[in-house]
């Protein structure tokens, strides 16, 4: 597992206590994508989370919560997330 992947996993576990957490690095699928330097690694991820932290929260609020948790990673080269965020029900 690569460094950013591990940091993302750690932060999401710490903040959301997920029942399910699946993280897939899709960076290779976006090579040469605009605003991504060729030297940047671990830039695009697909993340699936099932957590009670999402209970009674809209899709927009759920996404904002994850983006806020990973704010520092975006400042360090994370470019995009594809999110599948669900409540435990």
Name the DSSP letter for residue 64. Answer: H
Separation of CA 13 from chain center: 11
Task: Round to whole Å and give the CA distance between 3 and 6.
Answer: 5
Domains in the chain with CATH codes = 3-29+43-86 (3.30.300.90)
Cβ contact 44:27 at 8 Å? yes
Strand segments (E) across the chain? 20-25, 44-50, 80-86
Instruction: Report residue 37 as tokens.
Output: 């330097």
Whole-number pLDDT of residue 9: 97
What are 55-85's pLDDT values in tens digits?
999 999 999 999 999 999 998 888 889 999 9
What are 11-61's pLDDT values in tens digits?
999 999 999 999 999 887 656 566 655 656 788 899 999 999 999 999 999
Instruction: Report residue 45 as tokens.
Output: 């991820």
Residue 46's φ and ψ, nearest 5 degrees, are: -105, 125
Whole-number pLDDT of residue 35: 60
């Amino acid at each position: 597992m690569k460094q950013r992947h591990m940091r993302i996993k750690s932060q999401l576990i710490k903040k959301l206590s997920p029942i399910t957490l699946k993280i897939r690095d899709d960076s290779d699928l976006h090579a040469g994508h605009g605003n991504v330097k060729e030297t940047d690694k671990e830039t695009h991820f697909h993340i699936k989370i099932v957590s009670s932290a999402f209970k009674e929260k809209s899709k927009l609020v759920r996404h904002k919560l994850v983006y806020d948790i990973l704010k520092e990673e975006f400042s360090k080269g994370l470019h995009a997330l594809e999110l599948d965020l669900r409540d435990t029900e």
